Structure 1
Amino acid sequence: MPVLSEAPRLAPLYLKALTGLTKRGGELPSRLYERVGVQVDASHLAEYNRVCAFRLTDQLPVTYPHVLTFPLQVKLMTDADFPYPLIGTVHVANRITQHRPLHMAEQLDLRVHVENRRKHPKGEQFDMIAQALVNREVVWHSTSTYLRRGPHTSAPGQTREELPHPTSHWHAPANTGRHYARVSGDRNPIHLHPLTARPFGFPQAIAHGMWTKARCLAALEGRLPHAFEVDVRFKLPVLLPAKLGFHTNGTHFHLLTPHGKPHLSGIITPL
């Protein structure tokens, strides 16, 4: 279990990812990366809350530990023995379990590993597991599912489903990806600018999936249980700038295009 004394620097890791576009094959690595005694930076938390529309409190949004573990995830996915390139691997789902609220004053131990490689009709999937512990107790757990498309496959199709009409509407400006990249460290070029998104098949920059999840949960702030699981599936990408529709019944929620197609669907389950 390698223990890192500081968060990995993401800029060199992204450069490394660009040089590893053709790697393939092999098994998922079994090692676990860990950071111990991580203290939340108040100014960073405040900026994250502003970008994602959370209130300014000393309680961590349920999605915030994801950005703390993200550098560990990128390090693992850019290691030489990781079987898939980071660039082009698609984040298709995220499930977070919060066993109790986390607070800014608490020191966190962060752990990341990968597991559950399996076949998918469009290629292969795997799960990136991230955990936050306080006093050796797991208080937060996240499973991010990634899809690596195989040869001769198209983008995942959308199954037809009956979706409700939005109860509110939001606007995501063109710089949303750049703002979230600054607070999350996720500077994948598809999120930054149309010129850097086009080589990857997108006519415009697209919003981060975890920003869309955070933005939806910010709309539910004050109504969330203390202990709960929130499971989302990322569907159509959000091309920036975007008009977004949001609907929730308190348990299920959807982020929709102006034509009623789903960007994201999620469900909240109290523990």
Structure 2
Amino acid sequence: MTTAGPTPDRGTAPSSVVLPRPPSLPPLLARGALRSPFKRPAPDAPFPRTRLVVPSLRVDLGRLAAYERVCGFATGEDALPVTYPHVLGFPLAMSLMSGGDFPLPLLGLVHTSIDITRHRVLPATGMYQLTVYVAGLAAHRRGTEATVVTELRAEGGDVVWASSSTYLARHRTDGTGAVESPAGAAEAAGQERPPLPVVEEWRLAGDVGRRYGAASGDRNPIHLFALTARLFGFPRAIAHGMWTVARCLAAHGTPPAALVRAEFRAPVLLPGAVAYAADDIGRFELRGAKDGRLHLTGEVLPLLT
């Protein structure tokens, strides 16, 4: 999905806040939930200009191994999976999005897409500088979308990995806003895209959300148990969107220097069965094994340097 673009800077210079380590996620999730009823989302609302920076970050190899196992990546290699820097930056993103100056409510906020640029394979034993900031807001036909950027720099200052995630807050609009991707526009018009060739089917256990939450730190109640998910309108727990991307990329493979794009289309209920599909030009998708419902679309492209 492409958006109408971030809200232009109104002259407020960004500032950097240096942190010794990423903050703990549970207090941030609680803070964001408590503040959500008081938020008034709008594409022209002011948003935080602060850049959060952890200057000397080392990866916890134990947590990394747990992440690799639950997502299907090979373990024991001195290399970060292409999606893992998102996990490293997620607490900083939550710190910004749970703040009083972020205009979108954290409750109900939907991760709609992620674009990742990896310039080279990243050693798991390396030291990195992590930076996260809100790039802007944009009108969407279903509400307001925020773009959050995560950057990882190696020693020497070069950006070696970067991502741009969009998060949608649904609210009443006039029906105009961001122009969706061709696949999204076709689906909105009732035209289903032709399925990609199925590579394999995966049966997903009911504890996938809990296992991913333990490895990533993202213990959002909608992913943990049917009971807690029902409090937010889901019939059962749902898989983390970033788990679905990681699981697909573990099966698909990623060149050392690559562009990855993914759109989250519909939640995956747990337990359940899904079909992983891919073609020979880098596209992949995840569908319901029985009903064919489209959950995720994506593509992997080599990065031309």
TM range (shorter): over 0.9
Report the Cα offset of residue 269 of structure 1.
Answer: 1.4
Q: 1:228 aligns with which of 254, 258, 264?
A: 258
Q: Which moved more, 1:239-248 or 1:7-16?
A: 7-16
State the match for 1:163 in structure 2. Answer: 195
Please name the residue that 2:277 is paired with: 247
Residue in structure 1 matched with residue 86 of structure 2 by the alignment: 66
Q: Quote the Cα distance in structure 1 between the aligned partners of 2:283 and 2:46.
A: 36
- Of residues 138, 149, 156, the one that matches 1:118 is 138
The answer to whether residue 209 in structure 2 is matched with residue 194 in structure 1 is no
Q: Is residue 2:171 matched to residue 1:139?
A: no
Contact 2:143–2:173 under 8 Å retained in 1:
no
Identity of aligned residues (%): 41
Unaligned 5+ runs, structure 2: 1-15, 176-183
Letter in 1 for 2:46: E
Counterpart in the other structure of 1:23: 38
The residue correspondences of 1:8-19 to structure 2 (distance < 5 A) are 8-19=23-34
TM-aligned CA deviation for residue 83 of structure 1: 0.5
Q: Which among 179, 195, 204 is matched to residue 172 of structure 1?
A: 204
* Counterpart secondary structure, 1:93: strand
Q: Specify which of 40, 49, 59 is matched with residue 40 of structure 1.
A: 59
Secondary structure of the residue aligned to 1:46 is: helix
User: Partners in 1 of 2:49 and 2:293 — Cα distance?
Assistant: 38
The Cα of 1:179 is off from its aligned counterpart by 0.6
Number of paired residues? 268
Structure 1 stretches of 4+ moved >3 Å: 151-154, 156-159
TM-score by length of 2: 0.84
**In structure 2, C-alpha distance between the alignment counterparts of 1:92 and 1:32, rounded to whole Å:** 22
The one-letter code sitting in structure 2 at the alignment partner of 1:204 is R
Corresponding position: 1:50 with 2:69: yes
Q: 1:6 aligns with which of 14, 18, 21?
A: 21
Consecutive unaligned residues of structure 1, counting only runs of 5 or more, are: none
Counterpart of 1:54 in 2: which secondary structure?
Answer: coil
Corresponding residue number in structure 1 for 2:3:
none
1:122-165 Cα offsets, whole Å, 9 max, x none, are 001111100100021100001111110013899x9944211134
C-alpha contact (below 8 Å) 1:60/1:103 kept by paired residues: yes
Of 193-202 and 89-98, the range deviating more from structure 2: 193-202
**Corresponding residue of 1:78:** 98
Task: Name the amino acid aligned to 2:238.
Answer: I
The letter for the 2-side match of 1:173 is A
- Tell me if 1:257 matches 2:288: yes
**Within 2, Cα distance between the matches of 1:118 and 1:55?**
38
Secondary structure of 1:22 counterpart: helix
Q: Aligned to 1:206, which of 217, 221, 238? A: 238
What do the CA deviations read for 1:99-140 (whole angstroms, capped 9, x no partner)? Answer: 111011210100000123111110011111001000211000
Letter in 2 for 1:234: F
**8 Å Cα contact 1:23/1:84 also seen in 2:** no
